[in-house]
Chain A
Amino acid sequence: MNKPAHSLGGADAPATESDSVAGGNAGPHTVDAVLRESQVETVLSDLDRDLIGLAPIKARIRDIAALLVVDRLRLRLGLQAQSPSLHMSFTGNPGTGKTTVAMRMAEILHRLDYVRKGHLIAVTRDDLVGQYIGHTAPKTKEVLKKAMGGVLFIDEAYYLYRPENERDYGQEAIEILLQVMENQRDDLVVILAGYKNRMDTFFQSNPGLSSRIAHHLDFPDYSREELGEIADRMLATMNYRFGNGSREVFDDYLARRLKLPHFANARSVRNALDRMRLRQASRLFADRYRELTEIDLTTIEPPDILASRVFTDA
């Protein structure tokens, strides 16, 4: 090949940029300056405000945010450090906010410039594993390519590995995943999520995966008070409110519901609220000729809650 007669500007750009970094004074020097520049604080305070409970999760997210802020300050002084591995696993019972936090995580990491685009791709086994030989690798790679620059959220990750079938293609997907998690950790963050005990067995049978995940976050169950608060929030976003005495009845409902099997935390609360809305609607529907005010239309009355199966069965 002949020698290039002229060179593109882009080829020289990185050299000049690193010069200015070495030169020193450009850019923020305090944590406060980085925080102001990245506006990560608004995300963190949104997280505190919007999500009830989850204290250990919030603490860990703060730690990660702190590390990334400090890393940015170090970078200004030319103190290179390998970018930290931020792959995570979220374990916890159903309805404890794993997906919600994952969405927030994408935004936080984007604000901190850790991921370039800050989008979240949520997938399950079906999106990664193919149906016949040679189908899995392209499928998994396709998903990984889409997730580059953002966060890949694999829900119910333990389904990827099926020990009962040794020819299962899930193993192939895991291998490709591992390779990309290791080699391109600047390009994407992988979050695996699932129920605690099944994820534990999953990690036991895939030690390579477990060791490549730096943050194992365990989502605690919500207390009754927290669930009540969550219900208040949910109702407010749906433009409803608890009427006189309804809140106490709902607390009673939660206490009874918590003892029953298959309680799915916030998700059960949402379902309960949806059923209350149905009962409220049919209560109003029965009064055919009554003129309904805004208060009528937005209020959940105690009978709407008391009609639940939870009360009749006991």
Chain B
Amino acid sequence: MTTKTGIRLTQGQFSYLPDLTDQQITAQVEYALKNSWAVGIEYTDDPHPRNTYWEMFGNPMFDLKDPAGILMEINNCRKTFPSYYIRVTAFDATRGVESPKMSYIVNRPAKEPGFGLARQEVDGRSIRYRISSYATDKPEGERY
């Protein structure tokens, strides 16, 4: 979700901080590699918080020793999808864990319109709430 409506998406780690520089991303990737987690790059143009499955940009990167290769791929992804949300995930394959240990946004659209809240009155005058990004009113690929 966002800290203030219509300003910035906050999902995953470091999302309340200013955007990470390449140097900081490299340091985070280095940390993931040190723990032998597989680093993957994902992108989406649907920022709904329940949209957990983003598209993968290439395969998750196993057996890497150095962050330079991942930064190269992040930059590739930024070039391909300049106005999408792009995040870097680090997957821990340890038996029993088998889930992402890190996830942070490395690219975001220049203008983020934020989320709209819709109320729906249901049985017994209860209220249900629904949020959706203003961006998702438009079809995929034309949102940002």
Pair A184/B65 contact, Cβ less than 8 Å: no
- Segment 3-34 of B: residues with Cβ below 8 Å from A: 4, 7-8, 17-18, 20-21, 23-24, 27
Known contacts A138-B58, A145-B73; A11/B21 CB under 8 A: yes
Contact, CB under 8 Å: A148 / B58: no
Instruction: Choose one: B17, B24, B27, B63; the contact of A6 (CB below 8 Å).
Output: B17
- Does any Cβ of B come within 8 Å of A10's Cβ? yes
Contact between chains at B8 and A1 (CB < 8 Å):
yes
Whether B72 contacts A184 by the Cβ 8 Å rule is yes
Interface size for chain B: under 10, 10 to 19, 20 to 34, or 35 or more residues? 20 to 34
Q: Tell me how far the C-beta of B46 lies from the nearest C-beta in chain A, rounded to whole angstroms.
A: 20
Min CB–CB distance A46 → chain B (angstroms): 23
Q: How far is the CA of A14 from the CA of B24 in the complex (A)?
A: 11
User: Does B61 sit within 8 A of A, measured CB to CB?
Assistant: yes
Whether B64 sits at the interface, judged by CB under 8 Å, is yes
Choose among B20, B21, B70, B112 the residue that contacts A145 (Cβ–Cβ < 8 A): B70
Q: Cβ of B66 and Cβ of A2 under 8 Å apart?
A: no
In this assembly, does B68 line the interface, its C-beta being within 8 Å of a C-beta of chain A?
Answer: yes
Contact partner, A149, options B7, B20, B68, B73, Cβ 8 Å: B68
Residues of A within 8 A of B66 (CB): 116-117, 148-150, 187
* CB-contacts of A5-36 with B (<8 A): 5-8, 10-11, 14
Q: Specify which chain A residues have a CB less than 8 angstroms from the CB of B65 in the assembled complex.
A: 117, 119, 146, 148-150
Q: Is A227 an interface residue (CB 8 A)?
A: no
Query: Are A148 and B18 in contact, CB atoms less than 8 angstroms apart?
Result: no
Alpha-carbon separation in the docked complex, A11 to B65 (Å): 24
Q: Is the CB of B18 within 8 A of A145?
A: no
B141 in contact (CB, < 8 A):
no
Q: Could you pull out 7 A-B pairs where Cβ atoms are within 8 angstroms?
A: A4-B17, A10-B27, A142-B59, A145-B69, A145-B73, A149-B65, A149-B67
Binding site for B on A (CB under 8 A): 1-2, 4-8, 10-11, 14, 116-117, 119, 138, 141-142, 144-150, 184, 186-188
| Interfacial residues, chain B to chain A (CB-CB below 8 A) | 4, 7-8, 17-18, 20-21, 23-24, 27, 58-59, 61, 63-70, 72-73, 110, 112
